Amino acid sequence: MKRLSHYDAAGNARMVDVSGKEETRRSARAHAFVRIAPRVLRELPRNPKGNPLEVARIAGIAAAKRTSELIPLCHPLMLTHVDVEATVEKNGIRIVSSASTNAQTGVEMEALTAAAAAALTVYDMTKALDKGIEIQDLYLLEKTGGKSGEYRRPRRGGRS
């Protein structure tokens, strides 16, 4: 069984020492879905707080840049790019984030943090219209670079 690197031999949590790793180009994409009732989706253009999709995009970018402050054992990274796309669909808003860097460790957590923060922002900006909004399906879509190489999430049956 593979040993998790965030634990020492005694089982204590630790920050991984990446100083001996080679700096490489790394990227990651993540996904989240905010399930929203169709009547609420129809009201988005008239949201008194502003455009939830644009605010969510900016929130996701800002969150990615602060991932190491939110997730205790993450390394602070100099991100070279972050983007968040929020698309209105029949049953809600699909969020896809991406992050990239040239570093000794990956950006999966930054992409996931961006997607989560964007989803939470959509909720915050629409909760006055419906408290039953759900954030679903937060997961890594793909990552590149590093010792473990490439990962692509296998495509599954239906989408959210």
Q: pLDDT by residue (tens digit) across 111-149?
A: 999 999 999 999 999 998 899 999 999 999 999 998 888
**Separation CA 33–CA 15 (nearest Å):** 30
Q: Would you please indicate which residues are annotated as catalytic (active-site) residues?
A: 124
Please give the mean pLDDT across all residues of the chain: 89
**Residue 107 confidence (pLDDT):** 94
**Separation CA 118–CA 85 (nearest Å):** 9
Q: pLDDT by residue (tens digit) across 78-93?
A: 999 999 999 999 999 9
Correct CATH for 24-152 of 3.30.70.640, 3.40.50.300, 3.30.420.40, 3.40.1210.10: 3.30.70.640
Residue 8: partners with Cβ closer than 8 Å, 6 or more residues away: 14
